[in-house]
Amino acid sequence: MAAIASPCIDNCTLNEDDICLGCGRLIDEITAWHDASDEQKNNIIDTGKKRLEVIQDNWHRVQEN
């Protein structure tokens, strides 16, 4: 089985909630990535995508006002 690739896109900038604006992971998830199981990595990736969607939606709302 192939290893699950890190979602890192080399755009590492943390917001005020310690969420990476490149991949959507929390700082704790980034540092724990190498020790995480495949199931945990898949959950981290899915959750990170959802976080980025929320951040983008909020940004668009601010831009509209």
- Note the pLDDT tens digit of each residue in 13-61: 999 999 999 999 999 999 999 999 999 999 999 999 999 999 999 887 7
What distance in Å separates the CA atoms of residue 58 and residue 28, rounded to the nearest whole number? 23
Quote the pLDDT of residue 62: 79
pLDDT of 65 above 90: no
Beta bridge partners of 19: 26
Largest CA distance in the chain: 48
- DSSP element (H, E) containing 27: helix 27-32
pLDDT for position 61: 77
What pLDDT was estimated at residue 60? 77
Question: Domain coordinates of the chain in residue numbers?
Answer: 35-64
Residues with Cβ < 8 Å from 2, sequence gap 6 or more?
none
The conformation of residue 50, written as its DSSP 8-state character, comes to H
